[in-house]
Structure 1
């Protein structure tokens, strides 16, 4: 990850660390339950959660996994996750500051690697996936969830602008076919997948990004001025000209190392 992009991620995400810990959408949901079901079925003794954010995925796996390691690029986020998980009664989770493109772990040292709603922040996806494949044991699983890119160019461009205006560290959301191709290129084969929709409360979603009033108003203008089909595709709910909510499409994949 370039220094400039790393600084952007740290500035945007690190300053919102406690907000991510308190986020109800990150703490639970059908998406997390699906990842946990896949993880339980693998029965791994050692799990790595990359880009852990508020630590919710690491905590969920720590409830049934002997050894969990959580990494993040941002120290404030790691500190917030450490406090959160310790309060929950799991002080044994290990925390490591690490760039996803240079994971400081030995080859084939984990039975499961997880990454939940973070890959859209990665400067480049392929180098990160190479690192995931490197640290996974043969036959082990990568459990990943991220915002799903849209196949329709107009809809993809619209939601990309919405995401980038809200969070400048957002890079790109990939389509399912792109994910499959990247994973195959690193020796990982998709074994299971799911697509879920998750409603986002607009005030909470924009508030967590610490948007200024001016930036939020500009973003809302983009949404309101967009073609109706764009708002309909992402289920934007309006109260007059006030945006109430919208829906993210989430792609979940279980990919096993060949």
Structure 2
């Protein structure tokens, strides 16, 4: 029997270059926000949790003393470390591990940033508890992820196509769920912002190497979706669509 962690590792073990070269992952208005935030709060040691292709690490490294690129997939971590050397970002270090079991001491980091990773975590509450543990008192956390919704017809559609495209997908959580997770873990919510992400269908399935039969199933669901679903996700004729993204800033009281 496979665990969710094993499914995640299998899905991503040969896709590090795809995520490194992904425009969706390499660009985003949130990077400038992160850079300014790190400077403002003088976050010296930052954890890039679920680093993937390492885009957060590359963007914030010039503004921090040390960045730890951390991912469940060892191949992703190795890629980021190699890319950091090529980019002469000597303050990036790598470590492999799960979000639910962070191999760091209590109060270790000034800040934690996680971008487009949380929807893969096996146990979101445990992961949030671990983040709280490893952040210093008065430390900061930035979470960026695609949002789910509390409207069943919209949510069922979106979770379905995500899982068909990528079996390692667990869930895109709603903003209400996220605020509950944060407060349950002990965080104070500082900032909640929404932004949008336009997803090109061919790139979206291409970087996951989604098989043709799964692509056909996703396209079938898109074509049969109600007007409410099609309008909400702005589904185009070629399958491209738009999703909501959360930019959430949390703090740990001193």
Match of 1:251 among 230, 235, 246: 246
Quote how far apart the aligned CAs of 1:73 are: 0.6
Instruction: Give the TM-score taking structure 1 as reference length.
Output: 0.94
Find out whether 1:99 has 2:98 as its counterpart: yes
Q: Distance in 2 between matches of 1:227 and 1:16?
A: 33
Q: Distance in 2 between matches of 1:253 and 1:37?
A: 15
Uncovered stretches (5+) of structure 1, i.e. residues with no partner: none
Q: Distance in 2 between matches of 1:217 and 1:24?
A: 24
Q: Distance in 1 between matches of 2:248 and 2:159?
A: 21
Aligned equivalent of 1:126? 125
1:95–1:3 Cα change, 3 Å: farther
Per-residue CA distance 1:5-27 (angstroms, 9 max, x = gap): 11110111222111000111111
Q: Distance in 2 between matches of 1:3 and 1:139?
A: 38
Uncovered stretches (5+) of structure 2, i.e. residues with no partner: none
Quote how far apart the aligned CAs of 1:235 are: 1.0
Q: Distance in 1 between matches of 2:139 and 2:167?
A: 34
How many aligned residue pairs are there? 253
* Alpha carbons 2:38, 2:64 under 8 Å: kept: no
* Alpha carbons 1:180, 1:189 under 8 Å: kept: no
Quote how far apart the aligned CAs of 1:100 are: 0.8
Quote how far apart the aligned CAs of 1:3 are: 5.7
Aligned equivalent of 2:147? 148
Q: Which region of structure 1 is more displaced relative to structure 2, 135-144 or 77-86? A: 77-86
Q: Distance in 1 between matches of 2:189 and 2:13?
A: 32
* Alpha carbons 1:70, 1:95 under 8 Å: kept: yes
Q: Distance in 2 between matches of 1:234 and 1:18?
A: 28
SS at match of 2:142: strand
Per-residue CA distance 1:63-99 (angstroms, 9 max, x = gap): 1111111110101111122222222111331100111
* Alpha carbons 1:108, 1:138 under 8 Å: kept: yes
* Alpha carbons 2:120, 2:171 under 8 Å: kept: yes
SS at match of 2:234: coil
Q: Distance in 2 between matches of 1:121 and 1:75?
A: 16
RMSD (Å), alpha carbons: 1.3
* Alpha carbons 1:148, 1:174 under 8 Å: kept: yes
